[in-house]
């Protein structure tokens, strides 16, 4: 079984190298057409080509080239109304003789909609009808019967990826751009979520004065549930008291009666600006071996706090 699997992978890998070696000026022209597109990139195909087309369309959309998929059979029964003459249609058919695509392509041409064909047969009906053809011919299918689309669908998918990434590079598409279309994914959360989205402010921000006694510090830390309290002298941040600081005090002292916040606070607490990315806050915590940060505004004035638990809850880790 492993030998059979390796044979399939070898055949498909060779097919990809064939496609790579056969790329010519038509690929450049296709990219230029798609870059100049004022509408959407509409992808269409039926059967296995349709499944591949859906993935290509999805990849285009997520990499900065707005796209949607139209089933060619549904297109001939009304869905063609979604396509305008500002769109460009990528029609996929390995044989180039799909009757469904051959039916709608002349209609698209009459409406002045540009059509790019991806096919394994440059002399096919679809290639003749299209404005531009990208040949995606492979020497062998990985199927030993030579019937099931295998190498051909892999090659088509890879060619679609090549188009999407070539357009991405030409547009200067960035990680931040990618995150905007993937807000629910881990990358989106890391690149879009800011400290201000997660921080505790107002009554939720734990703070005491330097002259507060240790009991007041314990109450503030416990009630605000951040495992810390800022120590503020008027509006100036002078220190921080954490759960760890309290434990060390308990280990050293039997009586807490006369201990004040200034006696146990840690000086120079770690801070971060409210407009920083939450991922940056995580990095500061990890590098400094702390679980909380004081949040400041642009002027350096403290007005909130952020805890490791907030980052965990937002799935920034």
Superfamily holding 192-313: CBS-domain (3.10.580.10)
Tokens, residue 308 = 């490791």
Give residue-wise pLDDT tens across range 234-279. Answer: 889 999 999 988 888 888 877 777 889 999 999 989 999 999 999 8
Strands 228-233 vs 207-208: parallel, antiparallel or unpaired: parallel
- How many angstroms separate the Cα of 192 from the Cα of each of 7, 60, 127, 178, 313? 44, 21, 43, 10, 15
Return the residue matching tokens 């195909």: 45
- Sketch the domain layout of the chain as residue ranges: 2-173, 192-313
pLDDT at position 160 is 97
Assign residue 18 a region (left: φ > 0; alpha: ψ between -120 and 50; beta: otherwise).
alpha
How many Å apart are CA 89 and CA 42, to the nearest integer?
A: 5
Token pair 């500061």 in the structure block, residue: 284
Tokens of 166: 């070539």
In this prediction, residue 188 carries a pLDDT of 65
Would you state the pLDDT for residue 184?
62
Angstrom distance (rounded) from CA 256 to CA 239: 19
Is 288 buried (19+), middle (13-18) or exposed (0-12) by CB count in 10 A? exposed
Contact indicator for 229, 246 with CB cutoff of 8 Å? no
Positions in the chain short of pLDDT 50: none
The pLDDT value recorded for residue 176 is: 72
Query: What Å distances lie between residue 78 and 39, 75, 110, 149, 276, CA to CA?
Result: 19, 6, 16, 29, 49
Superfamily of segment(s) 2-173:
Glucose-6-phosphate isomerase like protein; domain 1 (3.40.50.10490)
pLDDT per residue as tens digits for the range 175-217: 777 767 666 666 667 777 899 999 999 999 999 999 999 899 9
């Amino acid at each position: 079984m492993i030998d059979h699997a390796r044979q399939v992978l070898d055949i498909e890998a060779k097919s990809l190298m064939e496609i790579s070696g056969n790329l010519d000026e038509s690929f450049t022209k296709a990219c230029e057409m798609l870059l100049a597109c004022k509408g959407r990139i509409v992808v269409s195909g039926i059967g296995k080509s349709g499944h591949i087309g859906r993935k290509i369309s999805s990849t285009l959309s997520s990499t900065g080239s707005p796209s949607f998929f139209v089933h060619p059979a549904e297109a001939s029964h009304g869905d063609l109304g979604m396509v305008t003459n500002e769109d460009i249609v990528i029609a996929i058919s390995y044989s180039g003789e799909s009757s469904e695509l051959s039916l709608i392509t002349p209609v698209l041409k009459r409406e002045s909609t540009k059509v790019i064909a991806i096919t394994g047969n440059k002399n096919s009906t679809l290639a003749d009808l299209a404005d531009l053809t990208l040949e995606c011919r492979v020497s062998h299918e990985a199927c030993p019967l030579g019937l099931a689309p295998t190498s051909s669908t892999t090659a088509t998918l890879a060619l679609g990826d090549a188009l999407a990434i070539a357009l991405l590079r030409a547009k200067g598409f960035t990680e931040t751009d990618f995150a905007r279309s993937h807000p629910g994914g881990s990358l989106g959360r890391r690149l879009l979520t800011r400290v201000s989205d997660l921080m505790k402010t107002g009554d939720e921000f734990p703070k005491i004065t330097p002259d507060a006694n240790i009991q007041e510090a314990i109450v503030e830390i416990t009630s605000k549930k951040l495992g810390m309290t800022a120590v503020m002298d008027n509006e100036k941040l002078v220190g921080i008291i954490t759960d760890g600081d309290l434990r060390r005090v308990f280990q050293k002292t039997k009586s807490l009666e006369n201990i004040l916040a200034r006696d146990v606070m840690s000086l120079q607490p770690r801070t971060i600006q409210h407009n920083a990315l939450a991922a940056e806050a995580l990095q500061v915590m990890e590098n400094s071996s702390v679980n909380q940060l004081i949040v400041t505004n642009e002027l350096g004035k403290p007005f909130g706090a952020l805890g490791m638990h907030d980052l965990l809850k937002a799935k920034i880790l």
